[in-house]
Amino acid sequence: MNLSEITNNPDAVKFWLGLIDLSHTWDDLIDKDKDLSDRAIHEAFWFALCDLPNNQFYRAYQNYFQPLIISCCIDFIASVNMERENKREDLSHVLRYSLGRIINAIALIEKGKEFVMTQSDEVWEMIVDDTFEQYQKERKLCLAS
């Protein structure tokens, strides 16, 4: 599964890719495991403060997406707290991928109920790009540094 199988709507694509970039930047700022350039940080904040509120796809479905985005933020914060407290790595790993709800919501809007009922598992496989074992290995590397 790839993004073009879910939507070819340029605003939906920009919305999704912007959220992905923003979430990676947030993660990198929290984990302090990557030396982010000023440009990368500026891009993330520009998306959040300037591009997202003006994205036509987001605006058309803002009432639908905003609660999902809030939930994804809460899940990410919980994941960070669990990592800091060395609790439930399995759950922490799952929570880091909550943003997958957004792309499944895009799929529902763009492709309809039948698509998500038959292919949302493939969408999730596209989103979760590392295994729990890979996550654990990365966590150990971060803790060692």
Query: Each residue of 36-76: pLDDT tens digit?
Result: 999 999 999 999 999 999 999 999 999 999 999 999 999 99
Q: Please give the mean pLDDT across all residues of the chain.
A: 92
> Would you call 42 exposed, middle or buried from its count of C-beta atoms within 10 A (0-12, 13-18, 19+)?
exposed
DSSP secondary structure letter of residue 34 = S
Amino acid at 67: P
Q: Are 7 and 102 within 8 A, CB to CB? A: no
Q: What is the rounded CA–CA span in Å between residue 60 and residue 96?
A: 26
> For residue 136, what are its two tokens?
């654990």
Q: Are 75 and 98 within 8 A, CB to CB? A: yes
The pTM assigned to this predicted structure is 0.89
